[in-house]
Amino acid sequence: MSFRICFFRPLERMVESDYLIVGLGNPGENYLNTRHNVGFIVVDELARRWGGDFSTGKWQAFFLRTSLNGRRVHLLKPTTYMNLSGQVVVRYADFYRIPARNILVIHDDLDMAPGRLKLVNGGGAGGHNGIRSLIQYLSSSDFSRLKIGIGRPGKGGIHPDMAVERFVLSPMTDDERRLLDERMDVIEQGVRLYFEKGPAWAMNLVNSVK
């Protein structure tokens, strides 16, 4: 009787997917401090705090790759203008094999008061053209969104005579920018929690800010 000795290789360690943080906005100096560019502003500040420099290239975007809490994290600012943001994000995510569930999008929200923060998982576009573009090109709404309130004109005494289109593309007031700057510590802590412990933990922190 003969015996056959079999050697089994240990299972290979699963490699965790990269993560992608997308800031939504419009390129160019005319849009630098506008309400619709809140996503750009926040991602710029995260890059500054994490000691990274953006590059430009084939992606039609400013992009940065870094390590955060042991995970590889990408920061991306599409430069195709808001309505076509999804074209850039889908190409970038496909190249680096980043699934929609590992994408966090930071953007402005008209229906929340200035300075209000809300982190959600999935959902519809809510009237936001940048989010609509991402859903269209990713063929998925299974990504997280960090919404930052800018207020809606005509509500709560905010510019009652200003059209929405003009309002979102107008510069923030000094008070609005100061409020956003004050929120940055919580935003960064929330993003770190998002990677360390998952969206639920981050929501508990971020969504408590009114």
Question: Could you please report the per-residue DSSP string of 139-178?
Answer: T---SEEEEEE---TTSTTS-TTS-HHHHHTSBPPHHHHH
pLDDT at 68: 85
Helix axes 38-49, 174-196, angle to 10 degrees: 60
Q: pLDDT class for 10, splitting at 50, 70, 90? A: very low
Residue 201 lies in a domain: yes
**Buried (b) or exposed (e) across 113-127, using 16+ Cβ within 10 A?**
ebbbbbbebeeeeee
Residue 11 lies in a domain: no
Q: pLDDT class for 7, splitting at 50, 70, 90? A: very low
Q: pLDDT class for 16, splitting at 50, 70, 90? A: low
Residue 13 lies in a domain: no
Residue 46 lies in a domain: yes
Residue 67 lies in a domain: yes
Average pLDDT of the chain, as a whole number: 90
Residues 38-45 have a mean pLDDT of 98
Q: Is 159 a catalytic residue?
A: no
Is pLDDT of 107 > 60? yes
Is pLDDT of 101 > 90? yes
The range of the structural domain enclosing residue 187 comes to 19-206
Q: What is the pLDDT of residues 145-188, one digit of tens each?
A: 999 999 999 887 777 888 999 999 999 999 999 999 999 999 99
Model confidence, pTM: 0.90
Residue 127 lies in a domain: yes
CB 46 within 8 A of CB 188: yes
pLDDT at 157: 74
Lowest mean per-residue pLDDT among 14-18, 22-26, 90-94, 95-99: 14-18
Taking Cα atoms as reference points, which of 23, 17, 49 lies closest to residue 192? 49
Number of domains in the chain: 1
Residue 10 lies in a domain: no
Q: What is the pLDDT of residues 57-88, one digit of tens each?
A: 789 999 999 998 788 999 999 999 999 999 99
**What is the CATH number for 88?**
3.40.50.1470
Residue 6 lies in a domain: no
Could you tell me which residues come within 8 angstroms of residue 60 by beta carbon, excluding any fewer than 6 positions away? Answer: 78, 79, 80, 87, 88
pLDDT at 114: 93
- Kindly state the percentage of the chain with pLDDT values over 90: 78
197 is written with which tokens?
């412990």
150 is written with which tokens?
């800018």
